[in-house]
Amino acid sequence: MRGFEDRSEVLFIYVSPETFVPGDHPLRPIRIMADKALKSLSEEFDRIYSHTGRPSVPPEVLLKSLLLQILFSIRSNRQLVEQLSYNILFRWFLGVSLEDRIWDHSTFSQNQERLIGTDIAGQFLQKILEQAKETHLLSKDHFSVDGTLIEAWASIKSFRPKDDEYGKGTGRNDSVDFHGRSFKNETHASTTDPESRLYRKGKGKESKLCYMGHVLMENRNGLVVDTRLTQATGTAERDAAAEMIQNLPGMHQVTIGADKAYDTESFVARLRSFQATPHVAQNDKNRKSAIDGRTTQHPGYNISGKVRKRIEETFGWIKTIGMLRKARYRGEKKLSWFFTLAAAAYDLVRMRNLGLGNA
């Protein structure tokens, strides 16, 4: 029998968003782990926020909203707030009822700026890792490190001499004659994002305004344990790696896997001073490698060389799902905050796939 469309609207509805979300939905374990981490940060939120004035967007709800933005590749805060207005799944994840009014996108952005000036993203990442540590998912002895370029939100046309504004037009996309001109970070800077730097990945590659993201990964399950975001320079990868390795807890011997870009005498010596064995790929093309047979003869060296490639999965996820192939923000401080939060979101997905968060 044919069914007929019923256009009558229900006046009252007494249901919770919980009833609309399947019991096996992949967001359920992520919400459990995120709520546990945010609960342990309650005292830190009390320290950041004033005890007087109008109530703000709860920081727990704000951070979980940003997690949704990363997990579902939502392009902007405006689109995120729009979806929160009608998406029952998102309301359930945030713990917001169907009757609650969603804040304006400008209010959301203003409250977001308060957190960006803090280390909340880094602390949230560490609280997530504590849960992984409790279930023995983290390796204490074996790690890998690598860096990747993140294209800045700035056009090459904005890269102008610091003491001269040549070819400045009146339109939004003014023409610039690049023929015969030399561009150097020492003499030029972007007028759109002054902290970005002109950099190219290798010979024959295009030079772009960019930053550099760095990740320290443990080798047991490929979880990110630390992040950095720096200006793009020839030594940024090794400097950031040394800083992250030095911050590893404990004083025991560890191994660090890395690619050929880290094969320098100074970096290898720094690793050894940190009680870290450098499982760095040998770069012996027209030069002498800093890694000799005393390191390569051990079976663990080859194992580290295979496992360290998994760090590219992290970069791939952050750049595609997390939408950081091209920076969505300007300035090193703000971009660094979101890079760390994206790494935390990646860890949550990995930990869910490994069975954590199942109630």
Considering the domain architecture, whether residues 76 and 146 belong to the same structural domain is answered as no
Domain-located, residue 229? yes
Q: How far is CA 263 from the centre of its chain?
A: 26
Considering the domain architecture, whether residues 233 and 313 belong to the same structural domain is answered as yes
Question: In the chain, how many domains are there?
Answer: 2
Domain-located, residue 10? no
* H or E stretch covering 111: helix 105-116
Rounded-to-5 percentages of helix, strand, coil across the chain: 45, 15, 45
> Is residue 227 within 8 Å of 215, Cβ to Cβ?
yes
Strands 254-258, 276-280: pairing kind:
parallel
Rounded-to-integer distance, Cα 193 and Cα 160, Å:
11
Give residue-wise pLDDT tens across range 147-176.
999 999 998 888 888 876 554 555 566 666
Confidence of residue 307 (pLDDT cuts 50, 70, 90): very high
Domain-located, residue 162? no
Rounded-to-integer distance, Cα 69 and Cα 77, Å:
8
Q: Which two tokens stand for residue 225?
A: 């344990």
Full domain range(s) for residue 226: 139-152+210-327
Considering the domain architecture, whether residues 148 and 285 belong to the same structural domain is answered as yes
Task: Count the residues in the chain.
Answer: 359
* H or E stretch covering 90: helix 88-94
Considering the domain architecture, whether residues 99 and 53 belong to the same structural domain is answered as yes
Rounded-to-integer distance, Cα 291 and Cα 329, Å:
39
What pLDDT shows up at residue 14? 72
Give residue-wise pLDDT tens across range 57-110.
888 999 999 999 999 999 999 999 999 999 999 999 999 888 888 888 888 888
In the block, which residue shows the tokens 């933005």? 69
Considering the domain architecture, whether residues 97 and 145 belong to the same structural domain is answered as no
